[in-house]
Structure 1
């Protein structure tokens, strides 16, 4: 798996390493080969994520993470060559606030937001209670596997 990180606002290497490990495990969890998979991760400030949230989701407020999947159905992923399955946009400032609210480390929050977004790229959502429960279970499984439990 190849994760392309924006250099601006990028977290420390330990967080990046956990994201790399988590991303690969998310792909494997879905029964896919991680080798050709590419994901783009951009870190933005509160103003930029607010604008993106408003523009793409019609929600006029700051958010923590946005996911932009490239495929509606994973069966449509090409079988040859590298393939970008989507883009992740994370607001580190919002992650820091949430980490404080939830009582865990900023690093854990950043990795969790990435895992959450990876499952969105892989076709999951949390609009219905049943779907939310399934997605949360997968997120917690990955977080546990990489040793970043609550």
Structure 2
């Protein structure tokens, strides 16, 4: 029979092992998934996941390839905190869905991301959109309602 000190040491060792394993698996996954690349602004990062390759290729062939990166359209422009909050939120959901395979073949933008994208359109094109804030009733019409193929064509 183990003494009280030995049982306590065994529990501490088991706890350290579990925590260390979680940290190790987390670091391995971060490195394997090229996690550091997502902190930057390189559009090629979006193609790290094979499911996004078509979107990346469409962006390269699209009208914004020489003037805007993925983050210019899909991350907020108001401040760095909201930019990285949206990037972290998207990263979590993209990682979860791509890892589990639980995503539709034709990837659809979430409403929250559509709002970010619409604000990015209005931000970059403000000199000629400031008087064009179109509404339908009390709802603002999204730029992508009419210009859905601008950043990258639909697949």
TM-score over 0.5 for the pair:
no
Which one has a larger percent helix, Structure 1 or Structure 2?
Answer: 2
TM-score (norm 2): 0.29
Structure of greater Rg: 2
Q: TM-score, normalised by structure 1?
A: 0.30
Greater strand content: 1
